[in-house]
Structure 1
Amino acid sequence: MTFLITDQAPLGDLRARVGGKAHNLFELTDAGFPVPRWAVLGTEAFDIALAAADVQVSDTQMTLSERLAEAAYAEAALQELLIPQQVREAISAALEYVGDGNVAIRSSAKHEDGAANSFAGLLDTFLNIAGIEAVEDAVRRCWASTFSPRATRYRQIRGLDFGDVAVAVIVQQLIQPVSSGVMFTADPVTGARDRIVINAVLGLGEGLVSGAVDADSVVVAKHGGAVIEETVGAKGQMIVAGDQGGVRTAEVPGPRQQVCSIGADLRSGLAELGARLERHFGAPQDIEWAYTDDAQIWLLQTRPITTLEDESGFEAEHFGEAVAPDALRIWDNSNIIESFAGVTSPLTFTTARALYTDVYREYARSLKVAPAQLDQMEAWLPVMLGQFNGHVYYNLLHWYRMVGIAPGYPLNRRVLEVALGVGEPLDSTTARQLKPFAYAGPVLKAFHRSRSTLTYARRFRGIDELVQDFDAAFEEFVERHGLSDVSTLDGPQAYRKFRQIHAEVARIWGPMMVLDAVLLTSVGVLAAMTKVFLPHAPEWFGFAIVNPGSGAVSLEPARALTDIAAFARSSPELWAFIDSADPATAYPQLVEYAEDGDRSWQELRRKVDDYIDRFGYRCLDELKLEAPDLRQDPSGIFHMLRMAAPEDAARPNDSAQAYLDAHLHGLRRTIYDALRAKIQRAATHREHLRFARTQGFGILKSLVAVMARDLQRRELIDDAAEVYLLTRDELFGLYDGSTGRAEARAAVTRRRTLQRYYHELKAPPRFTTIGSSYTATELTAAGWSRAVAAAEAPAGTVLTGTPSCPGAVTGRAVVVQRPEDFSSGILVAYRTDPGWVAALPFASALLIERASPLTHVAIIARELGVPTVVQIGGLTDAVRTGMTIHVDGGTGTVTLLEEQPDA
């Protein structure tokens, strides 16, 4: 049994026989590091298994689909293999060598855990295995995992030789740790090499890997050991044992205890061990460790850190702005987060960036901006948005420039800050220096600014007629391009239609951007008037008084859902279906029941179909091309219909009107009402325009889906979803010939890897850059960091935000990332988008961490009379689902109370 190799074998050149992971264990053992006893079934055993299973791996060139089919056969054959006798004897000998007790079984592929290829998480590991039969099954599954779809894709993407596939299997003594985890001898996200990052959980580390247990995290300085950052995760009930310097001996009662699994002595020992490992291997290491109750730290494996640079060779991709080395830029996502939250695909971002450019260019033309000044705007129009680590930001200084196109800049810029919800206003000196363009002389400036001002005044007076003209143009646009049926189009046809729509949409939408300017000016004037006429008005009044009114189209989706839910609840059979059906398959079932059932089923289907026809594009992340809308995936409507019926779905908000009636009369009231009416009409028009915008993006989504299927069929991409990893120009290039297949595949490979890391980052709401260099070190200094769980705030904590709708509510907090996860209580969210409106009738109050009082959902919440507070710093870090909190929408305060809800 020459293929059974123990940890006492000479190191030699064993990598080809034992794989990367076992080779690293040999190095650890040989260097005297503490490693639990182990042995390895070399790759010869794998070759014997392949022969016994009649599996042959071709080394010829194949497409990914062909390679996946070959691998699927091999995976299935190995999973069903009867272990050959000589291998069975080697397994028995390995178990005898490592000693009594349970074992860990780990794959160790030839290229695994190397500096070039990590295979991190792609091959299988099994813990707590006991008995020869269970060990044989684990060995069999380790072999099979080398042919899993994820490992096969990785090999294909990395260009590895499939004829050289080889995997060994480690059999290792399983120790029973007090705590365990991973340690990085450099920051795996930022790449900073002056620190050591330790993550840990109590007990076995599988809870850390699966995410089932909240991990503890500590970052210490590599030299000196000072604690830079520490986070203690909440843990369930468990027994903790160990010495005082490692983990405190105690029984942890109750469901949410703050007990650290990384004591001071353990932290110090790990840091010292990590530094030794880095010196030994000559590179930063990713280390798995375990700590036992006799104060012993054991090393389970180590590999080079799989950072962006080290594992993939890919540097993070940023879409910023090319500027002078000393030029300041402010990046803020306060309002854009409503449209493009979190990691956003390259296709969505580059499409949106181009549309913003074209739309605002047409807006300037509509205000009679002269050609010479339009040319100057090209220096900043194309870069009004930026994208860093996959997150979208306003290039804020250019938005101040855009506001300067219309008259009234000093007033408009202040209202802009409120509308965007920016955390800090721009200083007056900088703001005054920001001009959208310059003129050759004062006379020319006076002439052109006068012409733009007169044009703006006409637009201001005739805004209702302008919206009517838009409606007619948009209706004709929809009739020409269609909103739903793209089934007859092929890829090239979809490409041509996409480009045509892209070009048309700016001409339709550009002139309508004057509506935003009208609102900025009007709201600013009304705010000044309020300060004079109503000097003691509460803060929320200024926002509530400009709400668009009950006729806004934005309210209709929520009302329609309430109507459907009420109808379904009138029939026990219908509601049982809504309440129990899997949302993913509910719509096809409803179609079937409607065809075979009575009129109530047919009526329910009619109502659902009508909702999808009217509001199918108003969905979560509706402006993200990668996010399916209800026409593509109707499951979302069934999630919403499951919500409990509100006690009082109709809560008209008359607080602002009541305050006005009580405090303002006579001529002042007449003047005030006239301006307010103008603002409310403009706000209603704006909500209408936003819904039309959503429909336009819906058309683009349908066309991208057609192109994606076409590109996959032609094997230009491997999966339809990969189309969203291309930029707009790269996608166009696959049809006009300017992008080659290899170039597109390389871009997809790079960005797929990058996006995994983007999701691990915590994006700051606002940061500044100097020049155009966006290195990891510079962005870390600007506020980018690893995403770590924060400790909940103690009872008695008072959080403050911006009051948006008055009302006092005490109740149970429900913190959600998606509206379908909410059913009742106080709705708490980091951010929202228009797709959240359907949840508002079921909320007793609304709290949003990142939103302005003029954001879409805040406006609708006021119309529904839902007490609302926005711009609450640290909200979703401090509040957890189940907490009892008191919300005062009038003062903008949120108080965490002592009492807890019943279990």
Structure 2
Amino acid sequence: MQLEILDWESVLAADAATVGGKAWHLARLKQLGLPVPEGLVIPAGWGRLHDDEAVPPAIPLELSAALQKALATRGWLNRPLAVRSSAAGEDSATASFAGIYRTCLNVCGIEQVQLAVREVWASLSSPTAIAYRQRLNPGASMPGMAVVVMPLLPAVASGIAFTCDPITGRDDRLVIHAQWGLGESLVGGQATGDEYVFGEDLLDDHWILLHEQIGSKATKAVARPEGGTAMVPTSAVEATGSVLSAAQALALAELLRDAAVALDFTHPFYDLEWVWDGEQFWLTQARPVTARPRYTYPALQTQPAYWTRGNTCEVVPEPLSPIDWCNARKLVNELLTQGYILAGYPLLPGLQRAGLFHGRLYLQLSLLQWEVFDALGVIPQLTNSLIGGRQPEITLPSASPVDGFARLRRVVRYMLRSPAQRRRGQCAMERAMAEAVQWRKQPLPEDVAGLRAEILRHFHVARSAADLFFLQGSGGGSLAMLVDQLDKCFPGEGYALATALLAGGEPSVTARQSYELMALARLWGESIRQERVEASSDHGHSENPRFQDAFNEFLERYGHRGLYESYFRNPRWREAPEYLLSQLGQLAEVDEAALQARQKAAVTEALVRIRSGVPFWKRAFILKLAKAATQECNQREAARSALTALMEPGRRLLLAAGCYLVEQGVLVREADIFQLMLSEILRVLDGDIPETGVKARVSERKRLFEQWSQETAPDVLVEASRHSRQGWQANESAAASVTASNNSRRYQGIPTGTGLARGKVRLLLHPSDGYKLQKGDILVAPSTDPGWTPLFLRAAGLVVETGGYLSHGAIVAREFAIPAVVNLTGVLAELKDGDMVEVDGMSGGVTLLERNGQ
């Protein structure tokens, strides 16, 4: 065997099984800029495998010589050391082996080091270790055992911590246990230390000390002069006082969370060990939390946990950068709970409704279905239709009269309170738009402290916009009731009639934006004709100031929008107007009179059906619901626009921070700032993360992002195990519904735009490919956001893989009375460019009439 003693850098270049989980995590922490003591690692394979725990294996002569040389080189021959196990599989995401393998503290001199290494090897075959491994994986072979050797820190205090609540599973909690002296008394259960419980501040990613409990701390572990450790009594002051001050505990909490985020920002749930040497905190161990309890409502505890992309794959179809995920996991909870708060529903605190899998944003569908049912009585089937996607449904418990009455009270309370809340939301939108303009036009801070403060203030303001969140997250109530009432009168036609009834009317901000863009296109056409006339004369070229002024006014109102604008990393139209300009030529050909006639015809036809098939006493109620549904959908779009407007100055501030860090040599490119979480950005600006650590995090996440970009994320995930994310599995039921009939193929989705259209399929994966769309084509897309809207105006019909009745594509298609069908998972793989299809916006069917070239 070729001998090699590894340092932390070499550990990362080695095979993970060779160095073991403990060494691997410590090396990663060091690489990512966390305070980890220097160390060396004896790779696995040197210890002789045996069955006799009482006879530790001998140290090979070549290893003994290399170990002595490595210790001498580092000046560690006469320094107290810690010798720890690092077996393959230890401290992994599925097994911790906490307390199973041997750790030796205060090891002095080469002889003691060799003996400690032998004891660590021997612990691999202890009865406890064998039993634990067999329980995890019966019949598995003996793993390799690497050994970590580190200086023993002069521990004034030490302890363990969890970056989630290990008892409840809440991920907005952080728990620290602290004890005087060495940590083995706490880990071994020989003493009860202090406990500090922190809660996450939802507004600025900081931590707040919620609870401190003083432990007995009657004894503590200390290093003996001759080697090893001993338990000694603590002083009266130590026994009754706090191990950590409030400031120390907060600094440690921020450090621990940073370590967890650095290791895995998607699931930062770790069990860590730490030491305070009187001057700074050190991290000495990190392992993923392997048995995080499922924190949810009692009714869901025994049911599978479903996660869906049915709605989010429209808004954020691509992988999220860390800064986007950091923002999304906070905003999703706020968006989805404001209506329940208004209704007086007792939400379970600390629930997380957003998850990041395959780099994509998922919603906790089980929670969504339960909360809207338990709060307001909306059944899971209707919830799924509003969200979009083809998801499974939770099982509902038997309803009692008491529960039904409570839900009715909450519905009434919501209906009584929501008008005033919507008025507050309208005022909040106006304030947000004005504040965004002011923020955008004010000069950037001149120093790093001012820049840090402004970034923090921006996120605080954007995340506390509760009135906007209400409008954005609770816009489906009236629409759901409208569909339900129409379905009772016209079975199976509720969606189609509601869609037709909502065509035209008061335009949403997105529709107004589109109408103004069509007006710009006409001005642009006039400008082009003028240029041609001037070019044919002797007057030469002159710009059209009328068009330029109108375009500048358009950007002043809508320049905060952009293609897939929900990502901080994507530029706004104000920064990159090329996409808008590229659309003008084809938009100039749109017949706006025909569009308005189509809208009017859809409404007229729907009203005729309602007058003929709805009792007179119910018609007024249905028309009132239609008006309310239009208002709610419009406010949903307007709130999104306002929240996007608030993002624009945030993007500007983040890029300014990126530029500053590039100048300091911390980042390579200013856009690398988007590869950091908000908490990391603040720590980097404070100088708390070294340059090498920042660059390592950015580089690692870029590789991860590229990996995610190549993956196909499932529409629905089902939790197969409560204890690890390896247990998440794709739900195969989320597939396109295809039926064969008379040599044609019919795809059934959700109707969201009225009328019938036939045309050639044009598959577009991104709105920047919109130049391929010809007049009369059927636009088929994976998802849509406001950046796609100009294309809607040119398409004869719309087919979208994703989305539900409240999706952006559905709302805009209804307004423009475009034949549209959404929620057709997999249809992009079924259809090809040039295929002839029929889109039935009334039934939700898309029929393949003729294959291209056949």
Determine if the TM-score, normalized by the shorter chain, exceeds 0.5. yes
2:667 is matched with which residue? Answer: 717
Give the aligned residue type for 1:387.
Answer: L
Contact 2:502/2:626 (CA < 8 Å) preserved in 1? yes
Shift of 1:514: 4.1
Shift of 1:767: 1.3
Q: Secondary structure at the match of 1:847?
A: strand
Contact 2:762/2:780 (CA < 8 Å) preserved in 1? yes
TM-score, reference length from structure 1: 0.54
Write out per-residue CA displacement over residues 647-706 of structure 1, whole angstroms, 9 at most, x where no aligned residue. Answer: 523413242442222332633212221222222222222222121111112221121111
Contact 2:666/2:694 (CA < 8 Å) preserved in 1? yes
Q: Is 1:499 the equivalent of 2:456?
A: yes
Q: Secondary structure at the match of 1:424?
A: coil
Change (3 A) 1:576 1:456: farther
Change (3 A) 1:757 1:719: same
- Structure 2: distance between partners of 1:794 and 1:632: 51
Shift of 1:893: 2.6
- Structure 1: distance between partners of 2:392 and 2:607: 29
1:335 is matched with which residue? Answer: 311
Give the aligned residue type for 1:466.
Answer: R
Give runs of aligned pairs for residues 612-623 of structure 1, distance below 5 A: 612-623=555-566
Q: Secondary structure at the match of 1:852?
A: coil
2:528 is matched with which residue? Answer: 572
Deviates more, 1:521-530 or 1:488-497: 488-497
Q: Is 1:841 the equivalent of 2:799?
A: no
- Structure 2: distance between partners of 1:386 and 1:456: 28
- Structure 2: distance between partners of 1:492 and 1:656: 57
| Aligned length, in residue pairs | 542
The counterpart of 2:368, out of the listed 396, 399, 402, is: 399
Change (3 A) 1:846 1:447: closer
Give the aligned residue type for 1:470.
Answer: A
Shift of 1:361: 6.6
Q: Secondary structure at the match of 1:429?
A: coil
Q: Is 1:868 the equivalent of 2:820?
A: yes
Change (3 A) 1:358 1:690: closer
Shift of 1:422: 3.2
Shift of 1:878: 1.3
Give runs of aligned pairs for residues 65-214 of structure 1, distance below 5 A: none
- Structure 2: distance between partners of 1:414 and 1:798: 22
Contact 1:806/1:868 (CA < 8 Å) preserved in 2? yes
Contact 1:548/1:680 (CA < 8 Å) preserved in 2? no
Shift of 1:472: 4.8
1:188 is matched with which residue? Answer: none
1:459 is matched with which residue? Answer: 417
Q: Is 1:801 the equivalent of 2:749?
A: yes
Give runs of aligned pairs for residues 556-571 of structure 1, distance below 5 A: 556-571=512-527
TM-score, reference length from structure 2: 0.57
Give the aligned residue type for 2:366.
Answer: L
Q: Secondary structure at the match of 2:592?
A: coil
Give runs of aligned pairs for residues 476-875 of structure 1, distance below 5 A: 477-478=435-436, 481-487=438-444, 490-508=447-465, 510-515=466-471, 519-535=475-491, 537=493, 539-546=495-502, 549-572=505-528, 598=542, 601-643=544-586, 645-650=588-593, 651-652=595-596, 653-654=599-600, 655-664=602-611, 666-771=616-721, 778=727, 796-822=744-770, 823-824=773-774, 825-875=777-827
Shift of 1:764: 0.8
- Structure 2: distance between partners of 1:420 and 1:558: 25
Q: Is 1:885 the equivalent of 2:837?
A: yes
- Structure 2: distance between partners of 1:548 and 1:496: 45
Contact 2:469/2:639 (CA < 8 Å) preserved in 1? no
Q: Secondary structure at the match of 1:812?
A: strand
- Structure 1: distance between partners of 2:843 and 2:337: 41
Q: Is 1:348 the equivalent of 2:324?
A: yes
Structure 1: 5+ residue stretches without partners: 1-313, 434-441, 578-595, 786-792
1:387 is matched with which residue? Answer: 356
1:235 is matched with which residue? Answer: none
Shift of 1:397: 2.1
Change (3 A) 1:485 1:829: farther
Shift of 1:368: 5.6
Shift of 1:386: 0.8
2:847 is matched with which residue? Answer: 895
Write out per-residue CA displacement over residues 561-586 of structure 1, whole angstroms, 9 at most, x where no aligned residue. Answer: 21122112224357889xxxxxxxxx
- Structure 1: distance between partners of 2:743 and 2:589: 28
- Structure 1: distance between partners of 2:515 and 2:443: 30
The counterpart of 2:393, out of the listed 410, 413, 426, is: 426
Q: Secondary structure at the match of 1:859?
A: helix
Contact 2:658/2:673 (CA < 8 Å) preserved in 1? yes
Structure 2: 5+ residue stretches without partners: 1-261, 270-290, 295-301, 534-539, 735-740
Shift of 1:334: 0.8
Shift of 1:641: 2.0
Deviates more, 1:512-521 or 1:731-740: 512-521
Change (3 A) 1:497 1:547: farther
Give the aligned residue type for 2:606.
Answer: Y
- Structure 2: distance between partners of 1:657 and 1:463: 32
Q: Secondary structure at the match of 1:767?
A: strand
Shift of 1:611: 1.8
Give the aligned residue type for 2:510.
Answer: S
Give the aligned residue type for 2:609.
Answer: A
Q: Secondary structure at the match of 1:344?
A: coil
- Structure 1: distance between partners of 2:587 and 2:408: 57
Shift of 1:524: 3.2
Q: Secondary structure at the match of 2:384?
A: helix
Contact 1:320/1:387 (CA < 8 Å) preserved in 2? no
Give the aligned residue type for 1:456.
Answer: Y
Shift of 1:486: 4.7
Contact 2:432/2:646 (CA < 8 Å) preserved in 1? no
Change (3 A) 1:474 1:816: same
Shift of 1:350: 1.0
Contact 2:747/2:846 (CA < 8 Å) preserved in 1? yes
- Structure 1: distance between partners of 2:451 and 2:529: 43
Deviates more, 1:320-329 or 1:802-811: 320-329
Contact 1:804/1:870 (CA < 8 Å) preserved in 2? yes
Q: Secondary structure at the match of 1:759?
A: helix
Q: Secondary structure at the match of 1:422?
A: coil
Shift of 1:846: 0.7
Change (3 A) 1:421 1:359: closer
Shift of 1:341: 1.0
Change (3 A) 1:705 1:451: farther
Q: Secondary structure at the match of 2:440?
A: coil
Shift of 1:489: 5.1
Pairwise CA RMSD: 3.8
Write out per-residue CA displacement over residues 125-167 of structure 1, whole angstroms, 9 at most, x where no aligned residue. Answer: xxxxxxxxxxxxxxxxxxxxxxxxxxxxxxxxxxxxxxxxxxx
- Structure 2: distance between partners of 1:563 and 1:476: 25
Give runs of aligned pairs for residues 194-343 of structure 1, distance below 5 A: 318-319=266-267, 323-324=292-293, 328-343=304-319
Give the aligned residue type for 1:839.
Answer: L
Contact 2:493/2:843 (CA < 8 Å) preserved in 1? no
Contact 2:476/2:629 (CA < 8 Å) preserved in 1? no
Give the aligned residue type for 1:469.
Answer: C
| Fraction of identical pairs, as percent | 20
Change (3 A) 1:773 1:836: farther
2:77 is matched with which residue? Answer: none
Shift of 1:420: 0.8
Contact 1:816/1:828 (CA < 8 Å) preserved in 2? yes
Give the aligned residue type for 1:703.
Answer: L
